[in-house]
Amino acid sequence: MATTKAREDIKNDLKTLKEDLKTGAREETQRLKAKAAEAEARLREQGEELREKARGYYDDARVRGREYYDDAAERFEEAQRYVVERVQERPVQSTAIALGVGFVLGLLIAGRRR
């Protein structure tokens, strides 16, 4: 009879242990889910911050690019006006220079083909 009682006690202890393990597992699962949700929220927040920084960098680059483009266009127009004025001042000399440059380029290009 003492053995039966000991067996019953062991069975009860195992049953209690099993229930405790189930409860502990449920609690740990809930804790891990909460941690995962916190981590996900932090990642989303950091992603949004990075997205905002990238937008700022893009806007800055776009503004700078536009400034560079406007500056280059202005310089090109100035150079074009300068060339037109010089050609109008000395049309014969400009034509001779253009012919000379064309002749030299023609020789260089023809020399490559041979």
CB burial of 41-68 (b: ≥16 within 10 Å; e: otherwise) equals: eeeeeeeeeeeeeeeeeeeeeeeeeeee
Torsion angle, CA of 36/39/40/41, rounded to 10 degrees?
A: 120
- What pLDDT, in 10s, does the model give residues 54-105? 999 999 999 999 999 999 999 999 999 998 998 899 988 988 998 999 999 9
- What pLDDT, in 10s, does the model give residues 16-63? 999 999 999 999 999 999 999 999 999 999 999 999 999 999 999 999
pTM exceeds 0.85: no
- Give domain limits for the chain: 2-113
